[in-house]
Amino acid sequence: MILKKISALTVMAIVVLLISCKKDPDTAKTVEIDILQKKEVIKDTLPKQPKPLKIYSNDTVAVKAYDYAGLKYFLKQKNDTTYVINFWATWCVPCVAELPNFEKINANYKKNKVKVILVSLDMAKMIDTRLLPFIKEKQIKSEVLLLRDPDADSWISKVDSTWSGAIPATLIYNADMRKFYEKSFTYDELEKEVSNFK
Amino acid sequence: MKKIQFLALFIMLGALASFTVNPPAGGYKVGDTATDFNLKNVDGKMVSLKDIKNAKGFIVVFTCNHCPYAQAYEDRIVALNNKYKALGYPVVAINPNNPEKEKADSFAKMQERAKEKKFSFPYLLDEGQKIFPQYGATKTPHVYVLQKTAKGNVVKYIGAIDDNYEDAKAVKQKYVENAVDALLKNKDVTVKETKAIGCSIKA
């Protein structure tokens, strides 16, 4: 009697298990379709800023990470602002040395519609240990984005055909002009270049 | 489509090259003959390409101690030498940085690093920073695959080691290996030039 009950229970358990196994892929599919449709809706209605791959943050700073497909939005904006895009990393000594000059331009030329964006090429493992603490410690005011796209050959030439891939490197552009520099800048040099973008 | 564009570009480049008399600015292009050198190795001996016997060519890597990109590739550079030295394409690494500008790249620090990472290949200091500008290296790491021919060491590939600096396991294209494999089979190198992020050379 007891045995029979147990075996009946086992059969039931197996049946339940089977059903739940069968159901899973179906629900998964529906979820997938939902996400796909939602994504398309987002694409259609919001052609503005792309969605970051990830946002890295600690208690005080947050940095949006993009692959090149996402980042290129920030390299091709067409409005009345002049954008100064600096490619850098916390471990790159000449980059860190010239960073205050970019910060100064960002502060001094805000009213002249100049915006500095610092694109960090720090590696994934350095974001929490180096990049976020650096931004906090140096009180970086310019917008910092992270480019996380390790297949560099696929995008270096798209940023500029003359770029060898060495950093620091800077792109200055507005709706009418575009210039790329694989070099370090003093404040005066940078100011002179920016003032040419009028 | 891409291949056709590439071919067209090549024909154009070829046409341009045949009109140029002076050596091209900005270092070597694929097809140029690379200079030999005589630089001090971490073991204290001087090394020249011509002294490396039984070589069919060389994997010349401009690299250094301090650069995180170079560090990310150290194990892969060792692996390249382990695989290709026996096949006739040894690695020759050159530190192009001026140690006065970058203390971490001093000769003593190079010796330490080579020992630590068990470099199985020469790791040379470009003393006076005279060799890297001739090659046109702009950053570390920056690779030149050379093939030994009757007219000298001909540049066959310039660029990155592979397509993922962050994760060796996620690599899809092993550019340097593909180039050397092609040369070993007497075939044309398909991807002749790539770009990579790197630390600018401190001369």
ipTM confidence: 0.78
pLDDT confidence of residue A6: 52
Question: Looking at the predicted structure, is the pLDDT value of residue A45 above 50?
Answer: no
pLDDT confidence of residue A132: 97
Question: Model-level pTM?
Answer: 0.79
What is the Cα–Cα distance from B196 to B160, expressed in whole angstroms? Answer: 5
Segment A35-53 mean pLDDT: 61
Q: Are A67 and A61 in contact (CB under 8 A)?
A: no
* Crossing angle for the helix pair B175-184 and B68-84, to the nearest 10 degrees: 20
| B151-197 per-position pLDDT tens digit | 999 999 999 999 999 899 999 999 999 999 999 999 999 999 999 88
Segment B112-137 mean pLDDT: 97
pLDDT confidence of residue A33: 47
Question: Looking at the predicted structure, is the pLDDT value of residue B26 above 90?
Answer: no
What is the Cα–Cα distance from A181 to A167, expressed in whole angstroms? Answer: 10
Q: B200, B201, B202: best mutation site toward chain A, by most A Cβ within 10 Å?
A: B200
Strands B139-140 and B123-125 turn out to be unpaired
On the CB side of A33, how many CA atoms lie within 13 Å of its CA?
Answer: 6
The answer to whether A96 faces chain B, any CB pair under 8 Å, is no
Measured between beta carbons, the chain B residues lying within 8 angstroms of A129 are none
Measured between beta carbons, the chain A residues lying within 8 angstroms of B201 are 166
Residues 132-161 of A with CB under 8 A from B: 150-154, 156-157
Nearest in space to A163 (alpha carbons), one of A151, A147, A180, A185: A180
Q: Are A154 and A82 in contact (CB under 8 A)?
A: no
Q: Which of A94, A165, A182 sits opposite B196 (nearest CB)?
A: A165
pLDDT confidence of residue A59: 86
| A95-124 per-position pLDDT tens digit | 999 999 999 999 999 999 999 999 999 998
How far off is chain A from B160, nearest CA to CA, in Å?
A: 8
